Structure 1
Amino acid sequence: MKKTALYCAMAGLTVVAQPAQALQQDVTSSNADIEVITVVAHRQPRQLSEVAGTVSVLSEEQMQRDLVLNATDLVRYQVGVEIDDGGSRFGDSGFRIRGIGGNRTAIVIDQVPVADQFSVGAFSDTGRGLMELGLASRVEILRGPASTLYGSKALGGVVAISLLEADDVLYGSNYGTRLQLGYNSDSHRAKVMAAQAYANQSGSLLLAAALQYGQELRSEGVAASDRDLQHHRQQGLLARLATDASWGRWQFTLDALQESRDTNIRSGLGEGRQASTTYLAGDDARQQWRALIDLEMEPQAWADTGQWRLYYQYSDTEQDSHEERMLLPEPLLIQRDFEFTQRTAGIGADLAKQFDSVGFAHRLGYGFELISSSLVDERDALQTNLTTQVSTNVLLGETFPLRDFPRSRVTEFGMYVHDEIELWEQGPVISPGVRYENYRLRARHDALFELRYPQSTVTDLTESAWLPKFGVVWPLSEQVEWFGQYARGYRAPPFSDVNVGLYYPQFRVLAIANPDLKAERGYTFETGLRARLTDHSITAAVFHNRYSDFIESRASLGFDPVRQLLIFQSINRDKVVIEGAEFEWQADWNRQWSSQLALAYSRGEDRETGLAIADVAPPQAILEVNYSNGDWESRLVLTAVRGQRELQDADGSLLFSAPGYATVDWVNRWFVADDLSIGAGLFNLTDRRYWKNSRVSGYPIADPSLEVLAEAGLHAGITVNYQF
């Protein structure tokens, strides 16, 4: 299949994949000229037929149709896109696109990047919550390296989330109210969202709030007494004021999020590292607020359109772990505390100008972004001997409190230009682009870090890169176009890898900084064909993504005879290749019946070791049959996933390979009135026990946590959407 994918790419036989559901919603069978509009691909509105790449657009209507309550629901029927999961305790940490996730995939909310995900050890993982989806009106997913427009962290792709605006809620001419309720029995999760909007000739006001509540996942085949019990709560507030003034339309946004998770971890107790542990509980909290000012600029001589933004974002995660080891001869009580804080300020602009030059029509996009972030973490611990009542702040050779990296400031500056040049009327459009990116990491003076790691050196780092992109869209007819693209991805060395805190004197272990750490780079080659016929649409794509200089955190360099220490350092590894194909077909058989088919195949290989990449999902297929009579819609959705190939880690130890599975969902929606709809669904109708690859990739084959990471059996969901 590897050679086949490459040959197809060279021959230009591929076709871009976009969600079949979006096609049903946004491309009518009677008018193939009505298309989905995307912003993420060019940072300017474009029809999907104008994009030399693969983009999925998930509208609010589609999210209601799929009974979306959280991020997992959002990508349930999206091939090639998964959720990075933090296990049974920490929740969602980001999106995985074509096998690349974590901080290697950019997530932006109203063009503001979300806070970094950071984890260390088994008791600290900030996650990302993704609570913003409770207030989202639209989500766009750009697949493959996209650093030309989005800079560092867009190595795997981009997920762009747009929050509600007043126009999304207005029902009458000057006001509107929206209420959304949702529940799913897979984890007894519930959601409530309310929004109120007002508008007049000069401006608008939006007020919205969302609340989500849930428990642990009801993993099929796992008794209630064996699950990791959890209660999690999320609250979100959104306020937006828009007004017409000088220079254009100004909008002021303030949103705040709060999340808490209380977890009683029971899987794995009494085994391995927790052989003597009898009780383990986590109390985790995350809060975030963001202030954003954006301007939709009136036309100027140097720009037909322009969007400016100025923002400040604060994110803080606190996680407490309580552990009891009562099976030891002298029982122990261990309390661990972790906190990670990130403050980010940024300014940016995306501008566009259309003009003719030397006989060619141009649509020029250009812009810049300057982001400054301060980051700090701290871990603390106290161990108490319950027999002697003696307490100590030294655990496994680590003296607490400590930091895993010195207080740091990261400054990122990028400026880009991207042109779309029509070679002749109704002819091919080429889209060259380039971005200059500069990344600066500065370690601040940190007395605590220096106290804990006196033998560690601290270094600053400056990286810069030119990131080109080139695309072609060639219309073959009004409804069919071929495309191809080459794009570069880039991820600067993270703060936690450049300066690493790790020193165990009693074990003679030391981690050292790496001032020569290189940025990770990605290169994507993709080509395709899109066809929108009267009653059918077909899209397909093949891609070849090559990544180099992947960063391995805290890799062992061996024993240093001079220092008499075992040295660890974050280093670059060589090439990783991920390639595959995606295909989607949508057909409207008549006014009531339609169907969609989505297929995805991908494979990943570490060219240095020859091992398969565990994060790359196995082949999958999603088949949907839909019936609609105007007042009622009913869908049967079959999801089939092939078993994961045999996986090994770098030491040759077997990893868990998720077995293949097939599930069937029955999703319905009733349009009770023009302003009221009710959705209901039964998921996993066959009560199948299965694992999603994204939840278990990288786990050892005998890991005791695997049982609670299985997906839920038969479960039901319901949503109510009311607008007045």
Structure 2
Amino acid sequence: MRFRAIHALAAVCLLAGLSPAAAQDARDDESEQELELETVTVVATRQPRSLSEVAGTITVLDAERIERDVALDIEDLVRYEPGVDVDGGGTRFGFGGFRIRGLGGSRTAIVIDNVPAADRFTVGNFADSGRGLLELGLVSRVEILRGPASTIYGSKALGGVVAVSLLEAEDLLFGQPRATRIDLAGGGENNRFRTTAAHAMRSGDWSGVLAASVQTADELDVAGLPESMAEDRLDRDQGAFVFRAGRNTDLGRIRLTLDGIREERESDLRALLGTGRFRNTTSLAGDDRRHQWRVLLDHHFDRIGPVDRGQWRLWHQVTDTSQQTDESRPLAATPVDLFRRFDFRQENTGLGADFESELRFAGFRHRIGYGFEVVQSDLEQQRFATQTNLETGALTTTVLGERFPLRDFPRTEVTEAGMYLFDEILLWPGGPTLSPGARFEYYELDSEPDPLFTSAFPDAEIVDLDTTAWAPRVGLVWPMSNSLDVFFQFARGFRSPPFEDVNIGLDIPQFGIRAIPNPDLEPERGHTLETGIRYRTGSTMLDLAVFRNRFKDFIDTRALVGFDPATGVLLFQSINRDRVEIEGAELRARRALGYGFDLELAAEWTRGEDRSTDRSLAGISPPQAIAALSYAPTPDWEIRFITTATRTQRQLEDEQGDPLFSAPGSTVFDLTGQWRITPELSLSAGVFNLTDKRWFNHANVINRPPGDPVLPLLAEPGRNVRATLGWRF
């Protein structure tokens, strides 16, 4: 599928819109229930819009949807969202972030109440800061924007945006002066249990909410695990809170938010023992802790001077990761115990604002959006290790040729500043809306060398960066009839080189590998063409979109670039790939069948290639289709039967042409239900993987060789039950 597919779809949409059949409103059978026709979204423009007004593909997951899917974590959240995945961190480290249309990591922006989430940093096998610090029990809404959104969100939105909204008092009060909510949830796939309590109150112009959630879990009970295989063990504890207070004034609503989350994971890693570099290892244990807290002050207002709607925000956020690994090698020629520690800290301070003004000019109605955001991030990392000789008791801080303590990158300060402007122009009443826009962004990376880095890597060339970029976009939404809209967008995105790609200094002499900085690394640049249709009647919903992304100077992190001729050491360096292309199609449909029955369908197909090597991109998920048949004879209860079919992943290769593991195809069946026992008490439950099938989520096995001993543990859970019980009073 090339540009001709996009043009063909646009032509079909235009012809359909001009035909009498499409223009005629559908007539519903008296027995058919009506579907909700409009959903309000904020992520596309940072101002409220109906989905029909947006030139792009957006999914809104509200509290009702989260409860309906019995979602207890972010992987559950997108289980039924083809084209959206969550990167796994193996059996130890947890989630790494979202992947949209094959692009993950720092190419997908995650914002929580419009505040950017912390970055992820990984190095070696024993250090991964992750990016999954989110407690769904404290979330009221999640919006997913597919495709480049750099015009509004800057350089980290090359692949898309996941926008999360935490609980507010209004989510509980519903016009009452005070309200309380208690939720109990559990899942059998990893013996997890979650308790959430929230209390909200209103007094005059003041309102506030205090909520907390505690969750515990063990390792996953995966399907089809061989009896002879040692299973990794995991004990996980997580706690989170949010406090939010606001006051309504003549100048709008001023709000203060304090929130925090901490996670502790203790792991006993058994699957690797006796294999490869761990052939002499008899014990491998991890103790990982992550803490994050944030303070946010924001102000939402209407009609101040020329601004019809607006909001500004000021925040400070701190994320700390500390990971310890204990390894015992009594079977080695020289028996030793190894201790490793990894620390990573990121502090973010930011100020942002978004405004909207409506006016008429030159005979057209304009909705002009404009704003800015400035974020300063301070990043610091350190590794420490010791080796103890079990025969002599001698202790050394030189392990595998590395001398500790050390830093893998110098202390770094990153400043990102951007401003944007867009205009939604109604060309004529009831006609198309044209929305051109652009963003200017400034990116500065300042490195602060210190003895821990320079002593470990005296020959490393430390680089500072100072770059600017423009991100234009143009969209068009054309209502062909009361039921049919056609949209088109062209968007240009960019991604500034991340700190870990610029000044990495990893060097492990015993393994003969070294990662070197790249002072000539260029920002990634890409553009997207997307077009689609949205069809709505009282009983039918259809969304169809096709897209093509082309990227230039795509950053390949720590790619193998050759050998050092002087030492024979393997050299790794982050480099720019000449050209990468991703294209695909997405379909979502829903039909009210009548008499309480409802049918939903979602499907996606995506293909990605590195044009410089003609290899498929490993991060692209295989084609997938999801069908759900629901029965809800009354508003008080519903039952759903869901089928998820995934095609076998095409054969993948690494940089040397060696095969990578390709996830086999699968068909998985789930059964979920909801019961509103009383107006105050509700129950949601599900039986997942009804046939106890062994299957893999592609995002959890990216870039793993076929013989990786951990692969069996990365399979998805077998038959399991999840349930939530909610009490509101």
Change beyond 3 A, Cα 1:528–1:454: same
- Secondary structure of 1:716's partner? strand
The CA deviation at 1:103 is 1.4
Structure 1 residues 5 and 184, CA gap change in structure 2 (3 angstroms)? farther
Residues 12 and 38 of structure 1, relative CA distance in 2, 3 Å threshold? farther
| Residues 385-394 or 285-294, more deviating | 385-394
Q: Do the aligned residues in 2 keep the contact of 1:8 with 1:542 (CA within 8 Å)?
A: no
**Offset at 1:63?**
0.5
1:662 and 2:658 aligned: no
Residues 1:170 and 2:163 are matched in the alignment: no
1:125 matched to 2:128? The reply is: yes
Rounded to whole Å, the distance in 1 between the matches of 2:63 and 2:511 is 55
Q: Residues 416-470 of structure 1: CA distance to partner in whole angstroms, max 9, x if unpaired?
A: 0011000001001000010001100000131211111111121110111000000
Q: Offset at 1:332?
A: 1.2
CA shift, 1:408, in A, is: 0.4
Distance 1:177 1:266 in 2: 44
Q: Structure 1 CA distance, aligned partners of 2:468 and 2:620?
A: 29
Aligned pairs for 1:68-467 (under 5 A) are 68-171=71-174, 173-222=176-225, 226-245=230-249, 247-467=251-471
Aligned mates of 1:217, 1:205 — CA distance in 2: 37
Secondary structure at the aligned position of 1:543 is classed as: strand
2:546 and 2:561 map into 1 onto residues whose CA distance is: 38
Residues 287-323 of structure 1, C-alpha deviation per residue, up to 9 Å, x if partnerless? 0000000001231222101110000000000000010
Which AA in structure 1 matches 2:402? E
* Counterparts of 1:505 and 1:643, CA distance in 2: 39
**Deviation digits for residues 348-405 of structure 1, max 9, x if unmatched?**
0010000000000001100000000000000000011101212211122211110010
Q: By how many angstroms is 1:560 displaced?
A: 5.6
Amino acid at match of 2:169: A
1:677 maps to which residue?
A: 682
In structure 1, C-alpha distance between the alignment counterparts of 2:487 and 2:32, rounded to whole Å: 23
Checking the alignment, whether the CA contact within 8 Å between 1:619 and 1:641 is kept in structure 2 is yes
Matched-pair contact (CA < 8 Å) for 2:32–2:595: no
Aligned positions, number: 712
Residue 605 of structure 2 is matched in structure 1 by: 601
Which residue number in structure 2 is paired with residue 530 of structure 1? 534
Paired amino acid for 1:682: V
Deviation at 1:533, TM superposition (A): 1.2
Alignment pair present for 1:716 and 2:695:
no
Q: How far is the alpha carbon of 1:553 from its aligned partner?
A: 2.8
Please state whether the residue corresponding to 2:712 is helix, strand or coil.
Answer: helix
For 2:371 and 2:294, the matched residues in 1 are separated by 22
Q: Distance in 2 between matches of 1:598 and 1:511?
A: 42
Structure 1 pair 510/597, CA: closer, same or farther in 2 (3 Å)? Answer: closer
Give TM-score, length-normalised by structure 1.
Answer: 0.95
Note the alpha carbon deviations across 1:253-281, whole angstroms, 9 max, x for none: 00011001001011121111211111101
The answer to whether the 8 A contact 2:151-2:472 is kept is yes
Cα contact 1:442–1:460 (8 A) shared by 2: yes
Change (3 A) 1:662 1:558: closer
Point out where structure 2 has 5 or more consecutive residues left out of the alignment. Answer: 17-30
Find the counterpart in structure 2 of residue 65 from structure 1.
68
Residues 108-161 of structure 1: CA deviation (Å, up to 9, x unaligned): 000000100110000000112332322100000000111010001111100000
Cα drift, residue 507 of structure 1? 7.6
Deviations 1:311-348, CA, capped at 9 Å, x for gaps: 00000000000101122132110000000000000000
Q: Does the CA contact (< 8 Å) of 2:605 and 2:623 recur in 1?
A: yes
Structure 2 CA distance, aligned partners of 1:706 and 1:2? 35
Say whether the 8 Å CA contact 1:131–1:234 is kept in structure 2: no
- Report the counterpart of residue 513 of structure 1 in structure 2: 517
Q: Deviations over 1:161-186 (max 9, x none)?
A: 00000000115620011111111101
Deviation at 1:12, TM superposition (A): 6.4
Supply the distance in 1 between the matched residues of 2:175 and 2:465 (Cα, whole angstroms). Answer: 55
> Counterpart amino acid of 1:712?
P
Please, which of 699, 706, 711 is the counterpart of residue 694 of structure 1? 699
- 373-382 vs 556-565, greater mean Cα deviation: 556-565
- SS of alignment partner, residue 304 of structure 1: strand
What is the distance in 1 between the residues matched to 2:133 and 2:5?
34
| CA–CA distance in structure 2, aligned partners of residues 203 and 591 of structure 1 | 45
The alignment partner of 1:153 has SS state of helix
TM-superposed deviation, 1:513 = 2.9
The residue number in structure 2 matching 1:572 is 576
Cα distance between partner residues in 2 of 1:520 and 1:362: 32
Question: Tell me, what secondary structure is at the counterpart of 1:148?
Answer: helix
Distance 1:574 1:551 in 2: 9
State the TM-score, normalizing by the size of structure 2.
0.95
Match for 2:479 among 467, 475, 481? 475
Task: Indicate the larger mover: 195-204 or 125-134.
Answer: 125-134
Aligned partners of 1:5 and 1:579 also within 8 Å:
no
1:54 counterpart = 2:32: no
CA gap of 1:554–1:599, structure 2 versus 1, over 3 A, is closer
Distance in 1, Cα, partners of 2:561 & 2:76:
42
Unaligned runs of 5+ in 1: 16-27
Match of 2:710 among 705, 711, 714: 705
CA distance in 2, matches of 1:569, 1:703: 24
